[in-house]
Structure 1
Amino acid sequence: LEIVDVSDPTNCVPLASVSTPNNFTHNSWPTHDNNYVFTTDEVNGSYLTSYDVSDLNNITELDRVQSNPGSQVIIHNVHLYNDQFAVAAYYKDGVVLFDVSHPDNMIEVGSYDTDPGESGGDYGGTWGVYPYLPSGNILASDMSDAGEIGGKLTIITPTYIAASWLEGIVTDINTGAILYDTYVEILTTPQNDYTDLSGIYKTGAGISGTYSVRFSKVGYETQEIQNVSLSSGLTTVLDVELVPLAIIALTGVVLDSISNSPIANAQVYLHGVSNGLNLTVTTDSSGAFNIPSIYEDAYDVVAGKWGYYEKGISNTSLNSASSPMEIKIAPGYYDDFILDNGWSVSGTTATGMWERGEPIGTFENVTPYNPEFDVASDWGDYCFVTDNGGGSTADHDVDEGMTTVTSPMMDLSAYSNPVVSFYSWFVNGGDASFGTPNDTLKVYLTDGITSINVAKIKYPMSLWVYHEFHIKEFLTPNSTMQIYFEASDLDLSGHWVEAALDVFRVDEEQATGIPSQPLKSNCCIFYPNPFIDEANFQFDFGTGSIKNSRFEIYNTIGQLVESHSIGEGQGKIIWGSLLKPGMYIAKILVDGLVEDVTTLVKIR
């Protein structure tokens, strides 16, 4: 944003400048007194941002807001109406109204989507608004209609309603200390804020009414306050005191489930269900781990090591009365990337190198390019993905080169017939003037001497897709096996390439048609597995709560294909008779929380 004195058109004088959040300032509009200015950035995931420009030597950002956080939608132009309302052309979200009379607490108060056939990032929908007609009507011009060439004009009669503001200070109930970075949510609305260094939060609602407001911070009990009344044009002050969680020491051991021997250098990951804390520790030479200080809370706990299957425990309560944890993991190869098991990354691409993380979605019109989520059936939200930078479709894709992610070494010499399985994501598109997109995701298997291209993945695109192959069809299993995935973009192709990888595993093949030993979890037995016509799910949850409990079956692209309510603590469900042959993911939810996740197979 540049501020220029143009009082003498022959001698324009720069006065001040400031970088806007996305460094792509497209439009700005000042208040009539020139004390405040509002800017837009014309890129995916951009903001309406407010600045105090009353002192050009000290320009200060006051607030930034988005109409639809997480959707990557672009804000284009903004106009001020009576210095109170910002009328924004918000591309695929249409026309959006914000009450900006409190520039440090801007609140969305209304919207009208002129093109509901489009959503997400990139260009489309409303790109211009004009709110100054004598009638009060708003003119909205669309650059396209449902993605088709040729725009349209929409005339909107708005009703301007002032926001309902909510502000306050959050402190520690025992010490009175201000609490920075407390997350404040007005439930059932998209409005939220974090407390600043002074413990102050500022938020509000576009519609007056009675709301529940939730306050959460790592290390403190989450507090939800009911029946908070918010009124149009008024500021409600709500100061809150949070109760700190008790701090405990946690110890435990990770053991081999077959030999019962301790496992050194295993990883133990903990995620606080309420407090949001994420922590990973490593076991010592005796398989033990020690966390001297951790908040008392409920945690999801996952233990694993390369060469073993992960073991997950969902929503377990850790407190001063908790016994030392004992986690047993079975030998094998499995990775859903919630743990860092040492996959290596290499390549020549300028952007788009593989990285492990929680995927950030990118979109071209309504087509996903970078995935928004990992495979739903595994632990955590992580996967391997090519350059997880978000933004526009072309910002962080694989460009003019290749990138490879390679597994650690696998000793498969004792396997009779090992089967590799994984989920892949692949998208290839872009400017048709460069020709038909022709890039691929290639999968290679190596025994340390010979490398074989076992798969070339092109279709289907924009989906998590399950794959499996028998290693013996390509190479003889030995002690130095590895698999690697290569995503590439041909030089100067002008195409967009995104790829992702999740839920990698190696299993011993089951003899087709011969039921295996029942597959057992913490609470349940599944048999037979694999099965031919139908299968049994036998469960025993003891005397605990089983409200909101279900047995759900998903296909390999994450679609729910069968679901059964669990109405008692013990019993058996017969399932699968209507399903086609293939692999399925069984998810058991007890008291609304995931108790276990298991892979099951129906054969012909």
Structure 2
Amino acid sequence: AGGGAYSLASVPAGSYTFRAKVFGYNALEKTVSVPAGGSLTVDFDLNPTTVVADDYESGPGTWTVTGNATTGQWELGDPQPTDGGNYQTGDDHTPAPGVNAWITELAAGSGIGSFDVDNGTTTLTSPVFSVLGLTDPHVSYYRWYQTGGGGNSTSDFWVAEISSDAGGSWTTMDTTDQGQVGWIEIDRSISSLVTPSGLMQFRFTAQDTGAGSLTEAGLDDFMVYDVETDGGAVDAPNVTPTTARTLELSPATPNPFRAGGMTSLAFSLPQTGPIRADVFDVSGRRVMTLADGVFDAGAYRLDWDGRTHDGAAATTGVYFLRLQTEAGMRSQKMVLMR
């Protein structure tokens, strides 16, 4: 997804869940256990979203604009700033070379009140998308919203809505009447708002009603994506005081073990380095990752609860734990019973 290296200098030992997200890709969550006195390196391989990631650089597509505002209707393009970019932005949110965003009338005019939203509403509506088959669908976008400024204290609401029946009914997912300089990211779980469906639609309304406020709005980098999880926790129990001289992997105990229980395997690492511990079935298919990271030299324990990457119970039978390190590879047999 373009890469990026991040580090946390000091983290107390314990279990943490991290989520990695970048525009155009599904998010990925991983649960890691940080060892006392040790360190971990965790990689996130993200999958492209299969729904939509629109930076609007390729045109409006099938997005539509409706409303009765006399000025300030939604337009797509490169905006002209007002008040030095503090009221209407002069930049879209997409990194260069991107320039386009949806803006409530692109032109600046002679001042902040020239082409802001006046005398009504303007609504930008998306095409219909399907989120069927997604585990945890989310919608995210960046909004720009200014209202109640320029010596005019009257403000009006930005309203973002979601529909799961192609616009038959709408549910509010984001609203504010507080102006703020800058692009603000909004991210919502679709399941927390409506029942996910194959008829998802979104609309965004800026308005000037009542006493007549000064209102400008923008929308950019719209995305519908899934939150994926890596069921294999990167697990590193506390390092023991002794340092191993050779790579060792002890037999699983208990073994056999029963579904709903747990089996454990102790291993000793003679040197600091990357390790990976995977559970395979007799056909060679990897069903679970128990550890994947950089471990300090020392003694550790791996636990397997008989579940697969997706959290489902593994079928009864014979499995193999394979430990791969720079010091070599070791494996042990495990038997899962009912």
SS of residue paired to 1:464: strand
**Structure 1 residues 488, 330: closer, same or farther in 2, change over 3 A?**
closer
Whether the aligned pair in 2 keeps the contact of 1:385 and 1:500 (CA below 8 Å) is yes
Query: Which residue of 1 is the match for residue 135 of structure 2?
Result: 416
Query: Which residue of 1 is the match for residue 55 of structure 2?
Result: 336
SS of residue paired to 1:466: strand
Distance 2:161 2:75 in 1: 18
- Asked if 1:477 corresponds to 2:207, the answer is no
Distance 2:220 2:150 in 1: 29
Give the alignment of 1:156-305 within 5 angstroms: none
- Asked if 1:374 corresponds to 2:95, the answer is no
What is the Cα deviation at residue 424 of structure 1? 0.4
What is the Cα deviation at residue 377 of structure 1? 2.8
- Asked if 1:437 corresponds to 2:154, the answer is yes
Residues 91-123 of structure 1, C-alpha deviations (whole Å, 9 max, x = no match): xxxxxxxxxxxxxxxxxxxxxxxxxxxxxxxxx
Whether the aligned pair in 2 keeps the contact of 1:429 and 1:495 (CA below 8 Å) is yes
**Structure 1 residues 462, 330: closer, same or farther in 2, change over 3 A?**
closer
What is the Cα deviation at residue 342 of structure 1? 1.6
Whether the aligned pair in 2 keeps the contact of 1:454 and 1:474 (CA below 8 Å) is yes
- Asked if 1:397 corresponds to 2:116, the answer is yes
Give the alignment of 1:558-573 within 5 angstroms: none
**Structure 1 residues 431, 373: closer, same or farther in 2, change over 3 A?**
closer
What is the identity, as a one-letter code, of the residue corresponding to 1:465? I
Distance 1:330 1:508 in 2: 7
What is the identity, as a one-letter code, of the residue corresponding to 1:485? F
Query: Which residue of 1 is the match for residue 253 of structure 2?
Result: none
The one of 73, 85, 88 equivalent to 1:353 is: 73
**Structure 1 residues 389, 414: closer, same or farther in 2, change over 3 A?**
same
Identity percentage of aligned residues: 27
SS of residue paired to 1:495: coil
**Structure 1 residues 336, 472: closer, same or farther in 2, change over 3 A?**
same
What is the Cα deviation at residue 428 of structure 1? 0.8
Query: Which residue of 2 is the match for residue 427 of structure 1?
Result: 146
SS of residue paired to 2:148: strand
Residues 113-151 of structure 1, C-alpha deviations (whole Å, 9 max, x = no match): xxxxxxxxxxxxxxxxxxxxxxxxxxxxxxxxxxxxxxx
Whether the aligned pair in 1 keeps the contact of 2:135 and 2:228 (CA below 8 Å) is no
What is the identity, as a one-letter code, of the residue corresponding to 1:501? L
Whether the aligned pair in 2 keeps the contact of 1:418 and 1:471 (CA below 8 Å) is yes
Distance 1:360 1:467 in 2: 24
Distance 1:428 1:499 in 2: 9
Whether the aligned pair in 2 keeps the contact of 1:431 and 1:495 (CA below 8 Å) is no
Whether the aligned pair in 2 keeps the contact of 1:338 and 1:379 (CA below 8 Å) is no
What is the identity, as a one-letter code, of the residue corresponding to 1:371? T
Distance 1:417 1:506 in 2: 11
- Asked if 1:505 corresponds to 2:217, the answer is no
Unaligned runs of 5+ in 1: 1-307, 311-328, 517-534, 537-604
Distance 2:75 2:100 in 1: 10
Distance 1:506 1:375 in 2: 17
Distance 1:345 1:450 in 2: 18
Whether the aligned pair in 2 keeps the contact of 1:398 and 1:496 (CA below 8 Å) is yes
Residues 231-259 of structure 1, C-alpha deviations (whole Å, 9 max, x = no match): xxxxxxxxxxxxxxxxxxxxxxxxxxxxx
Query: Which residue of 1 is the match for residue 212 of structure 2?
Result: 494
What is the Cα deviation at residue 376 of structure 1? 4.2
What is the Cα deviation at residue 459 of structure 1? 3.7
What is the identity, as a one-letter code, of the residue corresponding to 2:81? G
What is the Cα deviation at residue 399 of structure 1? 0.3
**Structure 1 residues 497, 438: closer, same or farther in 2, change over 3 A?**
same
What is the Cα deviation at residue 507 of structure 1? 1.2
Residues 179-198 of structure 1, C-alpha deviations (whole Å, 9 max, x = no match): xxxxxxxxxxxxxxxxxxxx
Give TM-score scaled by structure 2 length: 0.51
What is the Cα deviation at residue 379 of structure 1? 5.5
What is the Cα deviation at residue 515 of structure 1? 7.3
Distance 1:343 1:515 in 2: 41
SS of residue paired to 2:182: coil
What is the Cα deviation at residue 419 of structure 1? 0.8
**Structure 1 residues 381, 457: closer, same or farther in 2, change over 3 A?**
same
Whether the aligned pair in 2 keeps the contact of 1:431 and 1:494 (CA below 8 Å) is no
What is the identity, as a one-letter code, of the residue corresponding to 1:349? A
- Runs of 4+ aligned structure 1 residues displaced above 6 Å come to 512-516
What is the Cα deviation at residue 437 of structure 1? 2.4
Whether the aligned pair in 2 keeps the contact of 1:445 and 1:451 (CA below 8 Å) is yes
What is the Cα deviation at residue 431 of structure 1? 6.0
Residues 9-67 of structure 1, C-alpha deviations (whole Å, 9 max, x = no match): xxxxxxxxxxxxxxxxxxxxxxxxxxxxxxxxxxxxxxxxxxxxxxxxxxxxxxxxxxx
Whether the aligned pair in 2 keeps the contact of 1:336 and 1:383 (CA below 8 Å) is yes
Residues 386-418 of structure 1, C-alpha deviations (whole Å, 9 max, x = no match): 011112111100001000001111011221210
What is the Cα deviation at residue 450 of structure 1? 2.3
Query: Which residue of 2 is the match for residue 174 of structure 1?
Result: none
Whether the aligned pair in 2 keeps the contact of 1:309 and 1:331 (CA below 8 Å) is no
Residues 149-203 of structure 1, C-alpha deviations (whole Å, 9 max, x = no match): xxxxxxxxxxxxxxxxxxxxxxxxxxxxxxxxxxxxxxxxxxxxxxxxxxxxxxx
Query: Which residue of 2 is the match for residue 387 of structure 1?
Result: 105
What is the identity, as a one-letter code, of the residue corresponding to 2:69? T
Distance 2:214 2:163 in 1: 28
How many equivalent residue pairs?
188
Query: Which residue of 1 is the match for residue 241 of structure 2?
Result: none
Distance 2:186 2:96 in 1: 16
Whether the aligned pair in 2 keeps the contact of 1:412 and 1:479 (CA below 8 Å) is yes
Unaligned runs of 5+ in 2: 1-22, 26-47, 235-292, 295-338
Whether the aligned pair in 2 keeps the contact of 1:378 and 1:503 (CA below 8 Å) is no
Distance 1:398 1:512 in 2: 45
SS of residue paired to 1:453: strand
With CA pairs under 8 Å and 6+ residues apart, which has the higher RCO, 1 or 2?
2
Distance 1:497 1:350 in 2: 13
Distance 2:192 2:128 in 1: 19
Whether the aligned pair in 2 keeps the contact of 1:351 and 1:387 (CA below 8 Å) is yes
SS of residue paired to 2:191: helix
What is the Cα deviation at residue 505 of structure 1? 0.4
Query: Which residue of 2 is the match for residue 241 of structure 1?
Result: none
Distance 1:502 1:334 in 2: 10
